[in-house]
Amino acid sequence: MLTREPGGTEWGRRIRSIVLDADVATPLDARAEALLMAADRAQHVAEVIRPALERGVDVVSDRFTGSTLAYQGFARGLPVPELARLCAWATGGLEPDVVILLDLPAGVAASRMKPEADRMEAAGDDFHRRVVDGYRTLAAADRARWRVVDGSGTVEEVEALVAAALP
C-alpha cells in the first residue's frame, strides 16, 4: 500500500491544506505546526497504516516520523527529543522497519519542484539546508534502519537503487 503524510486520510488532507497554505498572512508557530503533523500522523496510523499492517499488507509511506524530526526539529529549531516523544505517542510506538532517504543536490531538487511554492517549499534555502542536514543526521544515527539512496537519477534508476537498498 502506498500512502503519504500529511494527507493520507480525509482529516489529513484538511491538515495538509492548513500546514502548506502559503497565503495566510500570519506565520504558523513551529509548535502548532508540529502538533498538526502529529495529529495527521495519529489519524493516519489509526485509520490507514495499522489496519493495513494487521492485514499483513506492506505499507510504503511518503514521509513519517523522520520528517517531523527534520522539518520541525532540525529546521524549525524545536527540541528533537521532545518531538521524538510526540511522534512515538502519535503513532502508539509504531516505527518503520526501513527508512529510505532520497538524497539529491539542491539544484536537482529545485528543478523538480512545481512552479507555485507551498509554505514549506517557500521557506528558503537556509531552511531547506537545515532539513537536509537533519535527515542526514538521522540517517547517520540509525544505520540499521535508514538507507541513503542517490535520488538524482531518472525514476527508473532511483527505483532500482531503492529496490537494491531494501532488506
Q: What is the pTM of this model?
A: 0.91
Q: pLDDT tens digits, residue range 34-55?
A: 999 999 999 999 999 999 999 9
Task: Report yes or no: 103 and 149 within 8 Å, Cβ to Cβ.
Answer: yes
CA nearest to 139, candidates 154, 150, 152: 150
Q: Mean of the pLDDT values across residues 103-118?
A: 81
Q: What is the CATH number of the domain that holds 17?
A: 3.40.50.300
Find out whether 30 and 72 touch, Cβ atoms under 8 Å: yes
* Mean confidence (pLDDT) of the chain: 93
Residue 62 belongs to domain spanning = 2-165
What domain count does the chain have? 1
Handedness of CA 20, 16, 109, 77 (dihedral sign): positive
Q: CB of 44 within 8 A of CB of 3?
A: yes
Q: Are 61 and 8 in contact (CB under 8 A)?
A: yes
